[in-house]
Each structure stands twice: as structure tokens, then as C-alpha cells.
């Protein structure tokens, strides 16, 4: 398998599909795969992408880092700090900063950093077979990929600590109860559910979507006054967009709006 085969990327009708493609390794990622993912996310900021669907080939979404990519004798020579700074961290940041929504399509295990790529998405749709786990502790590591930031903001400190300190894997139903995922559907309904959401977001006013995402990310680290000021400043970009005018006209004319993303 060549490096480029490790990640499949297609773009059609504004929907970019990015697929981890190492099914024989349960889509565990090596440095090449992470670099490809980062590049695909960065390109999405300026191309015709309206929404991204992130998924995995085979039976897993992503089983974390590929521990077999490095021999046991070489592990101690790896500068893990430099690796995270060069590969994992820029990718997570690119996903959160991308002014376009990302849907995680999770049909099987999403564990380790694979779970944290899912958590970096904007909407998580899982099948009943999906599983989630912060399994780093099981090999003597702490979590990375931003989960010490994202997970406690979703489930609270105590539950995040439990999941990280035990490394327990939870099923889709528990993930839904904890608000880790947005929806859980039967596997046979997963693609239809994801595609319907992707089409809906692709047809939405792009500037407003971008500001919603930016505002929510900004709000996670700001107080109310700062959030209100962000809204006041950035609402202007929406207010002066062609899509706002189209939305108003469509409302007055009692028809469905045709947003153009500008």
C-alpha cells in the first residue's frame, strides 16, 4: 500500500469524504496517514468543500496509533513530543479551525487517538456497533489528541477521569447517554442518516455555519461578555452576506431558500 492509499479522499456536490483506509490494521494511523489527513483538512478550507464526512474502511473507524509501525527497540528513540507537535496536534487544530462542518461516521471501534479524531468533529453519528475508548492507560500512556480538553467539556471531569484512568471501552448507547455522539442508528441506516445530514449541511448558508462553529469553539474558552462581543462582531459577516438576503426573500415569498455560500 502506498502512502496515498492510506487515506481516501473524494469530493462531490460539496461533500468531501475522507476515509481512513488501512482496514487490515483496523485503520490505525501512522505518521504518513496523519500527514495526509492534515493536508486533506487544510485543502478543504479553500476548495469547493461544504461539509466533510470522516469515516473508516472495513470494520473500524480508527483503532488509534499504529504501534506496529515502530519496532520495540526504536520506541525509546522516538521524540514523542516533537511527533505530537508536528503531526497530531496540527491536525486536531485544523479540524477545529476549519470553517466547515465535519461529520464523523462511526460504524465500529473508535479508540485511542481514533476516538479523539471523532471528538474533534462537529457532529458524531454512530451505528449500534460503534465503540469508544480512551485506552492509552492500558499501555502506560496518558491521552493525547486533545481529549483532555474536549472530553471533560462533554461528560464532566469525573466521568472523563474515569474513562481515561480505566481505559474502559463503552458502547454506542452509553456514548449517546453521555452526549459523546449526536445519534445512534442501526448499521443499515448509518449511511442514509449520515448522507442526509451531509446534504443538509452542504445546502445550508456557509458563512453562518462557519460563524456558528467559530463561535462555539471561541465560547469554550471565553466568558459571557467575550462571547456576546464575538456574536456582535461576527453577525455582521452573516448580515451582509448574499445568503442572508436570500433567506429573507425566501421567507417573505414562502419558498425554500437556495443558499450559495456567499
Is 173 part of any domain? yes
pLDDT (tens, 9 = 90+) of the chain, 262 residues, equals 455 799 999 999 999 999 999 999 999 999 999 999 999 999 999 999 999 999 999 999 999 988 876 656 667 778 889 989 999 999 999 999 999 999 999 999 999 999 999 999 999 999 999 999 999 999 899 999 999 999 999 999 999 999 999 999 999 999 999 999 999 999 999 999 999 999 999 999 999 999 999 999 999 989 899 999 989 999 999 989 999 998 989 989 999 999 988 7
Asked if 70 and 148 sit in the same domain, the reply is yes
Would you say the pTM of this structure is higher than 0.85? yes
Asked if 246 and 224 sit in the same domain, the reply is yes
Provide φ and ψ at 111, rounded to 5°. Answer: -130, 160
Asked if 73 and 28 sit in the same domain, the reply is yes
Is 258 part of any domain? no
Asked if 211 and 162 sit in the same domain, the reply is no
CATH number of the domain enclosing 53: 3.90.226.10
Q: Which residues contact 198 (CB under 8 A, 6 or more apart)?
A: 15, 51, 53, 103
Q: Which residues contact 64 (CB under 8 A, 6 or more apart)?
A: 28, 29, 111, 112, 113, 114, 115, 135
Asked if 155 and 231 sit in the same domain, the reply is no
Q: How many domains does the chain have?
A: 2
Residue 239: domain span: 206-252
Amino acid at each position: 500500500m502506498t502512502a496515498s492509499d492510506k487515506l481516501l479522499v473524494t469530493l462531490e456536490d460539496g461533500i468531501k469524504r475522507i476515509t481512513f483506509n488501512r482496514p487490515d490494521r483496523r485503520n490505525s494511523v501512522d505518521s504518513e496517514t496523519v500527514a495526509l489527513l492534515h493536508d486533506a483538512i487544510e485543502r478543504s478550507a479553500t476548495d469547493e468543500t461544504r461539509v466533510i464526512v470522516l469515516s473508516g474502511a472495513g470494520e473500524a473507524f480508527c483503532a488509534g496509533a499504529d504501534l506496529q509501525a515502530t519496532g520495540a527497540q526504536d520506541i525509546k528513540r522516538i521524540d514523542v513530543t516533537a511527533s505530537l507537535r508536528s503531526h497530531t496536534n496540527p491536525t486536531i487544530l485544523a479540524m477545529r479551525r476549519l470553517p466547515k462542518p465535519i461529520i464523523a461516521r462511526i460504524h465500529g471501534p473508535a479508540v485511542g487517538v481514533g476516538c479523539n479524531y471523532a471528538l474533534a468533529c462537529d457532529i458524531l453519528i454512530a451505528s449500534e456497533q460503534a465503540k469508544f475508548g480512551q485506552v492509552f492507560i492500558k499501555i502506560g500512556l496518558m491521552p493525547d489528541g486533545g481529549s483532555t480538553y474536549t472530553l471533560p467539556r462533554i461528560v464532566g471531569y469525573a466521568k472523563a477521569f474515569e474513562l481515561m484512568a480505566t481505559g474502559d471501552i463503552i458502547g454506542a448507547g452509553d456514548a449517546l447517554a453521555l452526549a459523546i455522539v449526536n445519534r445512534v442508528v442501526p448499521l443499515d441506516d448509518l449511511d442514509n442518516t449520515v448522507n442526509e445530514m451531509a446534504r443538509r449541511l452542504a445546502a445550508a448558508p456557509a458563512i453562518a455555519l462557519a460563524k456558528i462553529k467559530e463561535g462555539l469553539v471561541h465560547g469554550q474558552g471565553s466568558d459571557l461578555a467575550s462571547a456576546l462581543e464575538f456574536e456582535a462582531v461576527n453577525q455582521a459577516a452573516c448580515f451582509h452576506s448574499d445568503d442572508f438576503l436570500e433567506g429573507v426573500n425566501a421567507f417573505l415569498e414562502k419558498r425554500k431558500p437556495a443558499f450559495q455560500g456567499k
